[in-house]
Amino acid sequence: LTPYGLHPSDPLGGKYTLTVTEATYINTVIDAYNSTIAAEAAEHGWGLADVNAIFNQIASVSGPSGSGYNIGGGIRVKTDFISGGIFSYDGVHPSTLGYAILANEIIKAANENYGSSVPLLNLMNYLQ
């Protein structure tokens, strides 16, 4: 039995994966949606938690040489698969901690834009 697609000389084809062109197109469409959402929020004075920007900020300090994203208490987390702490083991959805980070960003946006004073979550409570 020889595994298919697990070696660089025998990769999975575009039928089973996204090609670079397809991934680029998807990112372009996502950027367009995000721009439209931001423009509408600004026009109507709505609060906006830019989740894409938040994850990009965390990703920029991830990877083997990255310092990680400081969640307080001297603890730094990354977007790295399995070991990073931000994403669940499926590699797609945020972990409990990842969702708590997002919730805090939404709370910050609501507090800043609507004058509310919802307390932020203590991220230490979401470490696994």
Q: What is the pLDDT along the chain (128 residues), one digit of tens a residue?
A: 566 666 777 777 777 788 899 999 999 999 999 999 999 999 999 999 998 888 889 999 998 888 988 998 889 998 888 888 898 989 889 999 999 999 999 999 999 999 999 999 999 999 87
Please provide the distance, in angstroms rounded to a whole number, between the alpha carbons at the two ends of the chain. Answer: 38
Parallel, antiparallel, or unpaired for β 75-77 and 69-72? antiparallel
Q: Are 82 and 93 contained in the same domain?
A: yes
Q: Does 116 lie in the same domain as 69?
A: yes
| Rounded alpha-carbon distances, angstroms, from residue 72 to 65, 77, 123, 124, 127 | 20, 10, 8, 8, 12
**Does 113 lie in the same domain as 56?**
yes
Say yes or no: 55 and 83 in one domain.
yes
pLDDT for the residue 10: 72
One domain for residues 60 and 110: yes
Task: Say yes or no: 123 and 79 in one domain.
Answer: yes
* Together in a domain, 123 and 105: yes
Q: What is the dihedral of CA 37, 42, 46, 51, to 10 degrees?
A: 50
Residue 5, pLDDT score: 66
Residues 31 and 58 in one domain: no
Instruction: Tell the burial category of 31 from Cβ atoms under 10 Å away from its Cβ (0-12, 13-18, 19+).
Output: exposed
Instruction: Indicate the number of domains in the chain.
Output: 2
pLDDT at residue 4 in the model? 66
CB 89 within 8 A of CB 82: yes
- pTM confidence score: 0.79
Q: Which residue range(s) make up the domain with 9?
A: 1-46
* 85 shares a domain with 26: no
Regarding whether 81 and 37 lie in a shared domain, the answer is no
